[in-house]
Structure 1
Amino acid sequence: MKFLKVICLLLVANISFANVILPSVFSDHMVLQQNDEVKFWGWANPNEEVDISPSWTSENYKTKATNQAYWELTIKTPKFGGPYTISIKGYNEVVLKDVLIGEVWLCSGQSNMEMSASWGIDNSEEEIAKANYDNVRFFTSPKMAANSEQNNIISSWEICTSESMKYASAAAYFFAKRLQETMKDVPVGLMVSAWGGTPIEIWTPENIIKKDTALLTAANKLTPVSYGPIKPGKAFNTMINPLVGYKIAGALWYQGESNVGSDVYDKNLEALIASWRNLWGYNFPFYFVQIAPYNYGENHFGGVIIRDAQRKADNQIKNSGMVVISDVSPIDDIHPKDKKAVGFRLANLALKNHYHLIDDLVESPSVSELNFDKNKAVVSFNYAEGLYSKDKKGLFEVAGEDKLFYPATSKLKDDTIIVSSKKVNDIKYLRFAWGNNTQSNLFNKANLPASSFTTEN
């Protein structure tokens, strides 16, 4: 009987004094957003007092766990720096070491975001050898799917070394590298949640897809594959939802190849961005990569339709930016190897539009105004300084009311192009570089290519 009493007392003690538990995103080597109020959360015994003490301040932060054994609180962070320690005390104590304060970016998408140096990027051996940056840290989510929202990811923060960079997102790495060239000592944290071959629907909360008839219809047309889920919300539940609330500067997105064939991708992208921003509670910058020209097939325009949908979404979404990469992507490789150009172009958007640290021309030429005058189409562009054509290929086409397109000639004057064709007397529609594997030949002085586009829809 005495033995049983001891066992019971031990069980009660174990229940009464449950350990404070943190989600994996709070670990050694983590990066927290600078000059901000960042949320910490976790689990403990109901009503257990939780005390957090960061080493950058003498202030202690206290809260109590709810009757659901959950707690959260907000901590003020200073300007960039570190390393720091953070003590989290309940009935036990957890000490996070080597914590940096800097800039945190969420990086998501499919294989081109997931693609690491080990896959064979350009100059991979050289880039791997010099990739030792203590101020750059990775938190990479493992591939997981679930039918309901999860609250934790099994992973941890890693310091950027030649070994860790070799298997981390190359696009994200080069983004951080470019930021540091300008921001110098500011640490950069990269939270990477990417899964090759996945459609945008699995990264969007299921309820967002279900309440929109057009999005749900498109989702129901997706064909099952052997390398990943296709049902709405599956990856959001496991690879995004556990990160919601972790303070970020912004998000990077590189995806679209698995949605070739969709006619609502612009609406999908708008819905994903709006849902993520709503969950985080603020309109963080969202920069994304337009998919590259590739031969998706000769009898359709599925690939270029996605590129145009991305262009249209960028025009509609505030605080967003799109990088065009048709000039650094061979049309016979769906996984372009030049991830440095991709990362640098994304970073240049952030440095100019979010951090306001550069004032260079970092945007591709984009259509600002279009007028039809009988047998002429007059197109004006934003970001068109030094606009030029790289070769003499005629990539403009025009059509009348019948929507039968014919090759057109074009004349360039400053930031305006005049397009015409002897076969169309009354132009109603215009398109440029309209083909799945057609690379743009129109550039500005920053040598950034214009996007393909059409006025047909």
Structure 2
Amino acid sequence: MLNRFIYVLLLSVNISFANVIIPAQFSDHMVLQQNDDVKFWGWANPNEEVFIQPSWTSEIYKTKANNQALWELKIKTPDAGGPYIIKINGYNEIILKDVLIGEVWLCSGQSNMEMSAAWGIKNGDEAIKNASHPTIRFFTVPKTSAISPQNNLHGNWDVCSPETMKNSSAIAYYFAQRLQEDLKDVPIGLMVSAWGGTPAEIWMPEEVIEENKILKEAANNLKPTEWGPTKPARAYNAMIHPLVGYEIAGVLWYQGESNVGASNYDKTLEALIKSWRAKWENDFPFYYVQIAPYDYGKDHFGGVEIRDAQRKVLDKVSKSGMVVICDVSPTNDIHPKDKKPVGVRLANLALADYYKTYFKEVNGPLFKGVSIKKKNVVVHFDNAEGLYLTNKNTSLFEIAGEDKIFYTAKVKLKKNEITISSKRVKAPKFVRYAWGNTSVSNLFNKVNLPASSFTTEY
């Protein structure tokens, strides 16, 4: 009886004095968003008081766990800097060490975002050797899936060193490195949650797809693969949802190859962006990479249709941006090895659009519209200053009449304006450019950035 009484007493003590628990992303070496009210949360015994004291202030933040054993509170962060420590106390004490305050970016998508220097990227050995950047930190989410939203995940923050950079996202690394050139070594936190070979549908909440007929039909057409899940929300539930609420500056996205063949990718990507912003309750910038030209097959336009869908999202979603990389990507490799210009172009976009510290043009020529003048068509572009063709003997412009039969067009370029025509099209109505899965743009602007492919057919 005595032994039984002691057992019950110990059990009741454990229940009454449960340890405070925090999600994996709150750990040593983490980066918190600067000048923000960042949310901390975790679990504790119902009604247990939780105290948080950051070393950058004398203020002590206090809250209580609710009847679901969940607690949360917001803490004001200072300007970029550190390192700091953060003490979290309930019935136990957690001390987070080497915490930096800076800029946090979520980097997601499929294999080209996941791809590290260890995969054999261009100039990778040199990059690894020089990758000692203690104020760049990686939080890499392991590949996991779930049928319902999860509240925690595995992972830890790593300080950027040759050893850690080697197996972390190369694009994210080059992005951070370029940001620090302009932001004067502000700490950069990179939360990398990516999975090669995955379609966009697995990266958004299931209800978003279920409530949209077009998205649901597209999701139902996805075929199982050996590389990862294809059912809606499987990666979102396990690899994104647990991060929701962790304050971020914005999102980098590189995905689309696994949706080649889809006819409504623009609607899918638009829905994904809006759903993430809704979950975070934050209209953060969302910058993405247009997929590179690649030979997906000569009997369809699946690859270039995804590129055009990505282009269309720019007009549908505010605070979005796209980088075109066809000039640094061979058409025979779905995993282009030259990752530095991709990361740099994303960073330049962020520096110009979000941080307002970079004042050069960061976008290639983007299709704006056409003016039809009898047999001639004038094609208008944004970001067209200094427009030039790298090969004047090869035309990637095509025009068609009402019958939508396209013919290669003759091109005249004068004063940043392009006029096209074809003797075979007497009444032009439709125009397209670089319209092929492997078509590589030969039209650039003054900052040597390529034009995106486009069509007016749809």
Query: Would you call these one fold, judging by a TM-score over 0.5?
Result: yes
CA contact 1:373–1:427 (8 Å) conserved in 2: no
Which residue of structure 2 lines up, in the alignment, with residue 151 of structure 1? Answer: 151
- Residue 422 of structure 1 aligns with an amino acid whose one-letter code is K
- Residue 207 of structure 2 aligns with an amino acid whose one-letter code is N
1:369: Cα distance to partner? 2.7
Deviations 1:49-102 (A, max 9, x none): 000000000001000000110000000000000000000000000000000000
Which residues in structure 2 correspond to 1:295-310 (within 5 Å)? 295-310=295-310
1:373: Cα distance to partner? 2.1
Instruction: Tell me the distance in 2 between the aligned counterparts of 1:207 and 1:81.
Output: 39
- Residue 172 of structure 2 aligns with an amino acid whose one-letter code is A
Which residue of structure 2 lines up, in the alignment, with residue 327 of structure 1? Answer: 327
Instruction: Tell me the distance in 1 between the aligned counterparts of 2:130 and 2:315.
Output: 38
CA contact 1:52–1:60 (8 Å) conserved in 2: yes
Instruction: Tell me the distance in 1 between the aligned counterparts of 2:40 and 2:276.
Output: 19
- Residue 430 of structure 1 aligns with an amino acid whose one-letter code is V
Name the stretch that deviates more: 311-320 or 245-254: 311-320
Instruction: Tell me the distance in 2 between the aligned counterparts of 1:374 and 1:296.
Output: 37
- Residue 340 of structure 2 aligns with an amino acid whose one-letter code is K
Instruction: Tell me the distance in 1 between the aligned counterparts of 2:358 and 2:170.
Output: 23
Which residue of structure 2 lines up, in the alignment, with residue 162 of structure 1? Answer: 162
1:331: Cα distance to partner? 0.3
Which residues in structure 2 correspond to 1:182-197 (within 5 Å)? 182-197=182-197
1:350: Cα distance to partner? 0.3
1:414: Cα distance to partner? 2.1
Which residue of structure 1 lines up, in the alignment, with residue 422 of structure 2? Answer: 421
Which residue of structure 2 lines up, in the alignment, with residue 204 of structure 1? Answer: 204
Which residue of structure 2 lines up, in the alignment, with residue 441 of structure 1? Answer: 442
1:403 equivalenced with 2:416 (yes/no): no
Deviations 1:19-54 (A, max 9, x none): 000000100000000001000000000000000000
Instruction: Tell me the distance in 2 between the aligned counterparts of 1:167 and 1:111.
Output: 13
Which residues in structure 2 correspond to 1:149-298 (within 5 Å)? 149-298=149-298
Which residues in structure 2 correspond to 1:77-88 (within 5 Å)? 77-88=77-88
Instruction: Tell me the distance in 2 between the aligned counterparts of 1:11 and 1:417.
Output: 79
CA contact 1:34–1:77 (8 Å) conserved in 2: yes
Instruction: Tell me the distance in 2 between the aligned counterparts of 1:130 and 1:237.
Output: 36
Which residue of structure 1 lines up, in the alignment, with residue 367 of structure 2? Answer: 367
Instruction: Tell me the distance in 2 between the aligned counterparts of 1:205 and 1:316.
Output: 20
Instruction: Tell me the distance in 2 between the aligned counterparts of 1:327 and 1:336.
Output: 11
Instruction: Tell me the distance in 2 between the aligned counterparts of 1:82 and 1:174.
Output: 22
3-state SS, counterpart of residue 306 of structure 2: helix
Q: Following superposition, which runs of at least 4 residues in structure 1 exceed 6 angstroms of deviation?
A: none
1:308: Cα distance to partner? 0.2
3-state SS, counterpart of residue 367 of structure 2: strand
Which residue of structure 2 lines up, in the alignment, with residue 29 of structure 1? Answer: 29
TM-score, normalised on structure 2? 0.99
Deviations 1:149-182 (A, max 9, x none): 0011110000000010000000101000000111
3-state SS, counterpart of residue 101 of structure 2: strand
1:442: Cα distance to partner? 0.2
Which residues in structure 2 correspond to 1:349-360 (within 5 Å)? 349-360=349-360
Which residues in structure 2 correspond to 1:43-54 (within 5 Å)? 43-54=43-54
Deviations 1:265-308 (A, max 9, x none): 00000000000001111210000000000000010000000000
CA contact 1:38–1:76 (8 Å) conserved in 2: yes
3-state SS, counterpart of residue 108 of structure 1: strand
1:317: Cα distance to partner? 1.1
Which residue of structure 2 lines up, in the alignment, with residue 394 of structure 1? Answer: 395
Which residue of structure 1 lines up, in the alignment, with residue 133 of structure 2? Answer: 133
CA contact 1:289–1:324 (8 Å) conserved in 2: yes
Runs (5+) with no aligned partner, structure 1? none
Instruction: Tell me the distance in 2 between the aligned counterparts of 1:363 and 1:133.
Output: 28
3-state SS, counterpart of residue 351 of structure 2: helix
How many residues are aligned here? 457
Instruction: Tell me the distance in 2 between the aligned counterparts of 1:64 and 1:135.
Output: 33
1:185: Cα distance to partner? 2.1
1:372: Cα distance to partner? 1.6
- Residue 215 of structure 2 aligns with an amino acid whose one-letter code is L
Instruction: Tell me the distance in 2 between the aligned counterparts of 1:409 and 1:313.
Output: 29
Deviations 1:93-152 (A, max 9, x none): 000000000000000000000000000100011000000100000000000011000011
Deviations 1:334-373 (A, max 9, x none): 0001110000000000000000001011111111231122
CA contact 1:31–1:137 (8 Å) conserved in 2: yes
3-state SS, counterpart of residue 126 of structure 1: helix
- Residue 275 of structure 2 aligns with an amino acid whose one-letter code is S
Q: Percent identity?
A: 64
1:415: Cα distance to partner? 2.4
3-state SS, counterpart of residue 300 of structure 1: coil
3-state SS, counterpart of residue 41 of structure 1: strand
Deviations 1:371-423 (A, max 9, x none): 12221111111111111001121100000000000000111122210010000
- Residue 131 of structure 1 aligns with an amino acid whose one-letter code is A
